[in-house]
Amino acid sequence: MEMRGNNALKDDRWYTVKDYRAWGDDERWELIDGVAYSMSPAPRVAHQRLLLELGRQLADFFNGKPCEVFIAPIDVFISGTDSDQDDTVVQPDLMVVCDSHKVQDKGIYGAPDWICEVLSPATIWKDQTEKRNLYERFGVREYWVLNPDTLDLLMYEREGDHFKAPGAASLKDPVPLALFPQLTLTAGR
């Protein structure tokens, strides 16, 4: 296996959704533009606690509203289709989807409105480069990158076809979402 940043690649060939479906259930991978990225090892306890806390706050806020909250693992076919020839399927840590037509039995079809990736040693490079570029390209409206150890946060907000320069904050204090300013998230510590 080759290493790209801290994230293992399946190998140097181009993969499709058809290949992705053929891999065993004991392996977790993401495809970004045909490149297979390992989703192993499993996240650390601090990562999962933080993810659950943020997911709880989001779910409480969106209860009875049209937007829906999802926590990984769930497949996101960001192009809007899961054609065998597509070459991208990702599993964001935490997301909000406001278009119910995107939510189908096999996963999410199209860009979520808001995504948060909680950094881990195995995914830090991919989350800050490959996924940021992918989410920008496919129209994610707001993207957060969160360090679970320091609670430092980078927040990318869409302006036209691109993300603006990121804002910075700490989830030690309440932080509002740009898309939903009446909602603030905190690490709850």
> Over the Cα atoms of the chain, what is R_g?
16
Query: What pLDDT does 184 receive?
Result: 96
Residue bearing the bigger pLDDT, 44 or 104: 104
Cβ–Cβ under 8 Å, residues 176 and 183:
yes
In the 8-state DSSP scheme, what is residue 89?
A: B
Whole-number Cα distances in Å, 14 to 31, 34, 94, 109: 9, 5, 27, 22
User: Residue 12 — pLDDT band, cuts 50, 70, 90?
Assistant: confident
| Mode of pairing for the β-strands spanning 68-71 and 94-97 | antiparallel
Dihedral sign for Cα atoms in the order 74, 79, 84, 86: negative
Query: What pLDDT does 8 receive?
Result: 52
The SS3 of residue 184 is strand
Q: Which of 29-33, 58-62, 114-118 has the lowest mean pLDDT?
A: 29-33
Cβ–Cβ under 8 Å, residues 94 and 69:
yes
pTM flag (> 0.85): yes
Question: What are 102-154's pLDDT values in tens digits?
Answer: 999 999 999 999 999 998 877 888 889 999 999 999 999 999 999 999 999 99
Dihedral of CA atoms 160, 163, 60, 146 in degrees, nearest 10, equals 180
